[in-house]
Structure 1
């Protein structure tokens, strides 16, 4: 066994966090949205260069700690995303409160209060996926505050964990609130995070997201990784399998 890699998938309600995870693990898309009432934990396995890694994927919700398991212990999966490390600069509490208020007051998106990341044992998380809806500026504000919280609550001395900001619902490109390039430049240059877009509905760039994310974690010498580990082969575009 190669060890366990812990990934947290966070974002505002309704942006497609669970849909992305389920498309990655099972290749399906729930047509009807059902809000995630509490955090869920998925435990798929990934084969990397002859070594088996357990992925622990936390599906972020506003509720309490994750349930023991949601999904099979060895679901077929592939991994990970090009991401830069999170910025270590702390944002002011006034700015965070303002952005939180904006996210909480959104009407159509139904955005709720941010989860308390103090309960997440951030030192144990190897990478973060922050998801927003490309049609919802409020969900982008929500992600902005999440990134600030991660920087503020990451324990001193803990290794930096890659963060990738993901714009979901690319299939609704015509309704987007801002050009892709402008957001990508902001996230990559100002936030020092990775950026990409996907469509959970059509399984576009979903596998690539996890492939790049895990590549970034291993490249950073995560405490669970082996220095000789590298991704091998290619990913089938319609299956979550690493060859």
Structure 2
């Protein structure tokens, strides 16, 4: 039996539906197409209903204090994207490609609480100081990456540190010195023979309030320690580390949030970078309130 024969209704059924005892071939064909169209529309409505159900999930139920934005900064080609991929639970990508997707959202369910971590790779804003400054002002935690075989990339990280320190000092009005929410990574430690920046040069350039790690996004060297430090700075549970939770689909995540106790996480496929307008309103609002009343990342 052919595929088309399986899809068509018997002629007798069509006769009853159309009230023509001896329908013409053209009328039979029209009836078959009409019924198939109704079936297709029914399937489409079912799929749309599932999408709407998924959209109702619950990033909006995350408490404001459990929402954090990690801003990733550094020169091109130093390994920022692969470090983000590792955090999202993805594999290392050997071939270098310029960043095209710069915003990701990962949702966690740990100990009965929900957490939202947004990762913004601000590589596209490298040559736009105003946009980069806005991303810095709206960031809660910063991951700065340079390559151990590239002195210029390290110089860029030092400049970024000064920029972050200056920007945050304008928002946090405190007489005591506040620790910078920054983790610095000297990446590509696997290329030891090509290294041009010594450990002593790094420690001399960085202040004690900045956490530093030598990493290899390719081999996974020290990445777990980096993610643990990011969690500590942001007040997140250790289970947000990629090896400490189960990565599941969005629908499974919804179910586990209601019934499961095991730490789990999902990557939100519908997340989009907030507009610069909403970021600007956030900055202007935070300057007049000590604590925001809503989630900082919408």
Q: Which of residues 133, 148, 152 in structure 2 aligns to 1:118?
A: 133
Which residue number in structure 1 is paired with residue 238 of structure 2? 231
State the number of aligned residues: 181
Q: Which of residues 156, 160, 171 in structure 2 aligns to 1:157?
A: 171
Is the partner of 1:14 in helix, strand or coil? coil
Cα distance, 1:22 vs structure 2: 0.6
> 1:130–1:46: structure 2 CA closer, same or farther, 3 Å change rule?
same
Cα distance, 1:186 vs structure 2: 3.3
Q: Which of residues 144, 149, 155 in structure 2 aligns to 1:130?
A: 144
- How far, CA to CA, are the matches of 1:235 and 1:19 in structure 2? 14
Q: Which of residues 99, 118, 123 in structure 2 aligns to 1:61?
A: 123
C-alpha contact (below 8 Å) 1:27/1:240 kept by paired residues: no
| Alignment partner of 1:213 is 2:230 | yes
Q: Which of residues 122, 131, 145 in structure 1 aligns to 2:159?
A: 145
After TM superposition, the runs of 4+ consecutive aligned structure 1 residues lying more than 6 A away are 237-241
Which residue number in structure 2 is paired with residue 16 of structure 1? 79
Cα distance, 1:145 vs structure 2: 0.8
- How far, CA to CA, are the matches of 2:154 and 2:102 in structure 1? 22
The higher radius of gyration belongs to 2
Residue pairs, 1:165-204, within 5 angstroms: 165-189=184-208, 192-204=209-221
TM-score by length of 2: 0.53
- How far, CA to CA, are the matches of 1:46 and 1:13 in structure 2? 29
Q: Which of residues 32, 42, 51 in structure 1 aligns to 2:95?
A: 32
Structure 2 residues not aligned, in runs of 5+: 1-61, 249-262, 265-298
Which structure shows the higher helix fraction? 2
Is the partner of 2:161 in helix, strand or coil? helix
Cα RMSD (Å): 3.0
- How far, CA to CA, are the matches of 2:95 and 2:189 in structure 1? 18
TM-score by length of 1: 0.64
- How far, CA to CA, are the matches of 1:32 and 1:233 in structure 2? 27
Relative CO higher for 1 or 2, CA cutoff 8 Å, sep ≥ 6?
1
C-alpha contact (below 8 Å) 1:62/1:115 kept by paired residues: no
Is the partner of 1:131 in helix, strand or coil? strand
Structure 1 residues not aligned, in runs of 5+: 64-111, 219-228
Cα distance, 1:180 vs structure 2: 2.2
